[in-house]
A and B are shown apart, each in its own frame.
With several copies, the nearest count.
Chain A
Amino acid sequence: MIDVLYFAWVRERIGLPKERLDTGAATVADLVSELRAREERYEAAFADLSALRVAVDQQLTTFDAPLAGAREVAFFPPMTGG
């Protein structure tokens, strides 16, 4: 089981801030493929990965990062703080 979090317009497109998934995905990219296959709203959110950033266990990482042992994955657009 893994917590998947969505922020900003990713959250809006998918329609929820967080969900708990039972997944065997080996990498973030595999998880994205699983999600895109589920429903149109996921397909819409993940259509352009270059417009997305990902964090695994609250550390920024890349889409080829492994998920073994991860408790939390978050998807969001590039940050605009400051």
Chain B
Amino acid sequence: MAVRVEAAAFDPGAELSAFARGRTDIGAIVTFTGIVRDDGGLRRLEIEHYPGMTERAIAAIEAEAVARWNLHDSLVIHRFGALAPGAPIMMVATAAPHRGDAFAAAEFLMDYLKSRAPFWKREVTGSGAAWVAAKEADEDALGRWQD
């Protein structure tokens, strides 16, 4: 289990290679990579976070995933600061004996990171800057994980 909250750029491919290396006890690795999407006119995305709470919140979400599924490992990376269109924002990786656990845990981590980890996105375009509003769909997505 690893959590990295960092300003520096990361390479999702290099992260997957390192995460996969030397494992013979698992059958499935799932990764999710979030990319800065430019729907037109985006100059940069700025991500603010809450140092200290961010790491705690993500570690709690990871611990919950480990309790729910048969996971052998997980990784969460999330950047903050200014990001260019096309740049990786964040990445989740899960390693499990079976694919069902790896997929479910990765989706769970994403759903909770979206709505429970203290990050805020601000889009800067040629005409100004605006905080990204939370989507109701993201909050609703948590519903499927309630027992």
Q: Which A residues lie at the B interface, using CB under 8 A?
A: 5, 7-9, 11, 55, 58-60, 74, 76-82
**What 1/0 mask marks residues of chain B from 53 to 69 whose CB sits below 8 Å from any chain A CB?**
10011000000000000
Q: How many residues on chain B are close to A (CB under 8 Å)? A: 30
Give the nearest-CB partner of B113 in chain A.
A82
Q: Are B118 and A80 in contact (CB under 8 A)?
A: no
A80-B119, A80-B133, A82-B117 given; 10 more Cβ-contact pairs under 8 Å = A55-B118, A59-B53, A74-B53, A79-B116, A79-B120, A81-B117, A81-B118, A82-B78, A82-B90, A82-B114
Q: Is B132 an interface residue (CB 8 A)?
A: yes
B105 contacts partner chain A, Cβ-Cβ < 8 Å: no
Q: Contact partner of B48 among A7, A58, A59, CB < 8 A?
A: A7
Chain B residues near A81 (CB, 8 Å)? 47, 49, 78, 90, 113-114, 117-121
Whether B56 pairs with A76 at a CB distance below 8 angstroms is no
The answer to whether A58 touches B131, judged by C-beta atoms less than 8 angstroms apart, is: no
Chain B at the A interface: mostly helix, strand, loop or mixed?
Answer: mixed
* With known contacts A78-B139, A79-B118, A81-B78, A58–B53 Cβ distance under 8 A: yes
Question: CB-CB < 8 A to A55: which residues of B?
Answer: 50, 53, 118
User: Closest CB-CB distance, A72 to chain B, in whole Å?
Assistant: 9
Tell me whether A80 and B132 are in contact (CB under 8 A): yes
Q: What residues of B have a CB within 8 angstroms of the CB of A59 in the complex? A: 53, 56
**A36 to B115 alpha-carbon distance, docked (Å):** 26
B48 proximity list for chain A (CB < 8 A): 7-8, 11
Q: Which residues of B contact A74 (CB under 8 A)?
A: 50, 53, 118
Tell me the nearest residue of chain B to A57, going by C-beta: B53
Report if B9 contacts A (CB, 8 A): no
- A8 and B53 form a contact (CB under 8 A): no
Question: What are the residues of chain B within 8 A of A5 when measuring CB–CB?
Answer: 50
Residues of chain A contacted by B99 (CB below 8 angstroms): 82
**Given A7-B120, A58-B52, does the pair A79, B134 have CB atoms closer than 8 Å?**
yes
Which one of A55, A74, A81 has the highest number of Cβ atoms from chain B below 10 Å of its Cβ? A81
- Which chain B residues lie closer than 8 Å to A7 at the CB level? 48, 50, 118, 120
Structural contact, A9 and B119, CB atoms closer than 8 A: no
